[in-house]
Amino acid sequence: MATPPSNESLTRNDADAPFAPIDLADSDEPQMVRLPVGLIDPDPDQPRHVLGDFTDLALSIRQHGLLNPIIVEATTGGRYRILAGERRFAACRSLGMDTLTCIVRTVEEQSRLALQLIENMHRKDLSPVEEAHGLRRLMEEFNLTQREMARQVGKSVASVNQTLRLLDLDPALLATVQTSESVSKSVLLEVAKEPDSQRQRELWEQAQQGELTVRKARAAKSRSNDSKALAATISLPDARVAVRVLGGDLTNERITEILRAAITKVTGEQG
């Protein structure tokens, strides 16, 4: 493996250094090389869709150099695709740097997507919804269970499950939520648990205004459940049964309990 350049060499002066094409045919080991910016392409399938403001990052790179090399893979025609480091790449390009120190890796498609997702999650570069879309994509494309997905990205199964739950948000909200940085993931999760789309939008508006906490969201959902009623009429050849439940948490278990109590009452009165 080539010796990593010093921090001093990772500045704009990299443009003066020669570029030597590299041959990865006989090596599965990552290689540290310097590549022309013009040969590096962002990945269109990158889980992170919004780069955000990288002004501070660009200032840091200008002052200290590129401390963390960009990870790329060779594609075709002598070009390279970014596996990890989209924001660093954008910041370096904004500084007018012509060459960048990169780590070239050879990876399978599943490993590539997992690597991008993991790097962005650890750097907190993804919004919660972008993270959820990334997890869902990996699971669907490679037929992974939540447990397998959790192992891939180093998260607990519960954490993966909660993140995926964010995709229960109303589709009309997802685009807005995806770019928002003002609402915490825990509050978003409570909004996603609300089954009614209109109610989700109302909670989201409260969250954007800073008026919604996890506790308030749960309390609002509880009041909503209390206001609901279940009414059903079951017609049989020789009888008709009418059931009306006024409020409460109407889970399947609770409904079953109520019906059993009604049956017990009817059979008891007849006995």
Q: What is the dihedral of CA 8, 86, 144, 111, to 10 degrees?
A: -40
Taking the C-alpha atoms of residue 210 and residue 195, their distance in angstroms, rounded to an integer, is: 22
Taking the C-alpha atoms of residue 98 and residue 117, their distance in angstroms, rounded to an integer, is: 27
Q: How high is the pLDDT of residue 232? A: 67
Taken as a whole, the chain contains a residue count of 271
Residues annotated catalytic, as ranges: 86
Q: How high is the pLDDT of residue 40? A: 92
Q: How high is the pLDDT of residue 270? A: 54
Tokens describing residue 168: 């229960």
pLDDT along the chain (271 residues), means of 10: 38 38 47 88 70 78 85 86 84 89 75 70 71 83 79 84 89 77 81 84 82 73 55 68 65 76 70 50
Taking the C-alpha atoms of residue 54 and residue 52, their distance in angstroms, rounded to an integer, is: 6
User: Mind listing the domains of the chain with CATH numbers?
Assistant: 7-126 (3.90.1530.10), 169-226 (no CATH), 229-270 (no CATH)
CA-wise closest residue to 12 among 33, 41, 42, 37: 37
- The kind and range of the H/E element at 114 are helix 109-122
- The kind and range of the H/E element at 40 are strand 40-41
| 72 close to 40: Cβ distance less than 8 angstroms | yes
